[in-house]
Amino acid sequence: MNISFFNGKFLPHNKICISPEDRGFLFADGVYEVVRWYNGFFFDIEGHHARLRRSLRELKIKWGEEDSFPVIAEKLVKMNHLDDKPALVYFQVTRGAAPRSHTFPSPPVNPTIFAFARPFTPESSGKENGISVMLRKELRWGRCDIKSIALLPNTLCFTEAAEQGYGECIFVKDGFITEGSHSNIFFVIDGVLRTHPESESILSGITRKHTINAAMKCGIRVEERAVHEKELLQVSESFITNTSAEITPVIAFGSIPAGNGKPGPLTGQIHKKFREIVESYARR
């Protein structure tokens, strides 16, 4: 039986009932996190915790027990007997249940907290030879830095991409590449690793942060400077990053090959260093 967390209690997953007036249900008024369990340890749960706090603060959602995030996550892994398996913990906080109104409930109601742990197969498995990505005009809102549960543009575009055989949909805003539907994206141009700077146009990925660190440790020059669509022809390597897939090589942007259309050497080097950083969390 799967055990999940709901409003202070660990319950059988199928016994959880969420109010139809929950603002997450009515307005997508909430935030989430996905943290990865590597057969025995979480990878940078502190980073995910800090991002959750920030998302809550930006949306003015108050959760009095936000310090308990890592404890709940670990308990879910243990209670579901996932200690020695690869797993993901999904964690969601919404503003809570209140009669439908465009203003926030006043006084505030208790937020709804929901979390579950699941065994998973890394999204990158079988993709060692790289993926092709689809490019799409950015159609998301102006605060992509908040890990909001309002993901319709993301799911719409990713589904379209998957149906056409692409491994990710990458958004293009005013000619510049921002990020993927559920990943950040990196490019190698003239030996320099480039990615969109942290801003309201992208989510500050935890994997992105460690990838930048890994590249610098490899002695690779990194520039947080957006890449323009027109520069894609000069790209020698590219890859996407996220919690569930770590680093996945990108070998084409639609009909444009990335470099020679094969995963590149710097990508391999950076991924190797990234794995070392992941393993360092096992010893903390």
Interface residues with ligand PDD (CB under 6 A) are: 34, 179, 182-184, 203, 205-208, 241-244
| Distance set, CA 57 to CA 53, 126, 144, 206, 207 (Å) | 6, 38, 15, 18, 22
- Minimum CB–partner distance for residue 51 and ligand PDD (Å): 7
Nearer to ligand PDD, 23 or 182 (CB): 182
In whole angstroms, give the CA distance from residue 127 to residue 249: 8
In whole angstroms, give the CA distance from residue 2 to residue 240: 31
Nearer to ligand PDD, 5 or 97 (CB): 5
In whole angstroms, give the CA distance from residue 249 to residue 29: 34
Nearer to ligand PDD, 94 or 98 (CB): 94
Query: Known catalytic residue: 127?
Result: no
- Host H or E run for residue 94: strand 86-94
Nearer to ligand PDD, 36 or 95 (CB): 36
In whole angstroms, give the CA distance from residue 69 to residue 86: 19
- Minimum CB–partner distance for residue 86 and ligand PDD (Å): 14
What contacts 78, CB < 8 A, 6 or more positions away? none
Catalytic residue among 137, 147, 230, 273: 147
* Catalytic center residues: 147
